[in-house]
Amino acid sequence: MFVDEAEIIVIGGHGGPGKVGYFRNRKGPSGGNGGKGGNVYAEVSSNTPSLKRYVEKIVFRGADGESGGLNNREGLHGNDLILYVPAGTSLIDLDSHTEIVLDQSNTRVLLCMGGAGGLGNMAFKSSTNQTPRLAEPGKTGQERRFKLIQKLIANFGLIGLPNAGKSSLLNVLTAANVKTANYPFTTLEPNLGVYDGKIIADIPGLIEGASAGRGLGIKFLRHIEKVKLLLHCISVESPDPLNVYKTVVGELKKYNEHMLDKEEVILLTKIDLVSETETNKKMKMLKKTGKKIIPLSILKDETVDSLKVLLTRARPLPYITPTQ
């Protein structure tokens, strides 16, 4: 299952306690300081495809520091903990509401500091107290709560109403093997494929009202934010393709008006199901959008080839690591 959202608690390691100790025959204090607790970091990893591990476990701690030793030996520091996340993950502090975005230009970030180790009694020796019997406990580590949201980083995003042919097209263009059927919401989660070293994301179908929480679309709208080029699929079977286009674009605008700044190409799909006259009629309707329109059918290689030319010419994002 593709998991793209989770809430976790992150805690730095506890500092080790200081030591109360003396040299032989109590000739002076020898207790060392405790070790520092381990820090907790988040780091981008190409081997982490989703946030699944962060719903299976929600509390993550750095290792505790060890106690100070005799002869002024400092305790070992606790090991740092690294939380690996996919590129494009946002970490939102649930208390301060600050946001950190991890990608290939910001691959590692400190989330929580480990606690300082306590001072041993050696540190309390003074001219008036030659044999102190005091040592400090270690300090607690920093604790924070985060919401993790994964935003897919892809070159191209297939969008459109349910049954617009997005998944079938992804299967033809890439090595993806997405389930398809003639009923709404066949795609229940984003699917990825790679064509010519560039990632294509198949975003589950939007419906009118998606930006207000209807249907599946609202859950995945955020994945379109980082897509470079939108491939807007509209079935030629639609009696009013222009209205279909306006419906989807309207939901994108309500969610984030900057989504409309993205480059967009309309793919008029399933043209094998209608006559050439009908296809031309629907093309004429969609020309009012001012967008480039490519009529195609996955059963007509020459039409898919015209789309491949477009995808091949597009420059890949510099931080993409193609993975399946």
pTM of the full predicted structure?
0.70
Distance from the Cα of residue 137 to its chain's centroid: 38
Mean pLDDT by 10 residues, the chain (324 residues): 85 98 86 98 89 93 97 96 93 95 90 98 92 95 96 83 86 70 52 82 65 52 78 94 91 81 93 95 95 94 92 63 34
Q: DSSP E strands: which ranges in the chain? A: 5-11, 40-44, 59-61, 81-85, 89-93, 99-102, 108-112, 143-150, 156-159, 191-195, 198-202, 229-235, 263-269, 292-295
3 state DSSP class of 280: helix
- Cβ(37)–Cβ(50) below 8 Å: no
Q: Which two tokens stand for residue 278?
A: 């009908």
Which element (helix H / strand E) includes 311? helix 301-313
d(CA 163, CA 149): 27
The reply to whether CATH 3.50.50.100 applies to domain 156-313 is no
- Cβ(23)–Cβ(74) below 8 Å: no
Instruction: List pLDDT tens digits, range 23-79.
Output: 887 688 999 999 999 999 999 998 887 898 999 999 999 999 999 999 999 999 999
Domain ranges of the chain: 5-150, 156-313
Which residues make Cβ contacts (< 8 Å) with residue 294, sequence separation at least 6? Answer: 265, 266, 267, 268, 303, 306, 307, 310
Instruction: Specify the CATH number of the domain 5-150.
Output: 2.70.210.12
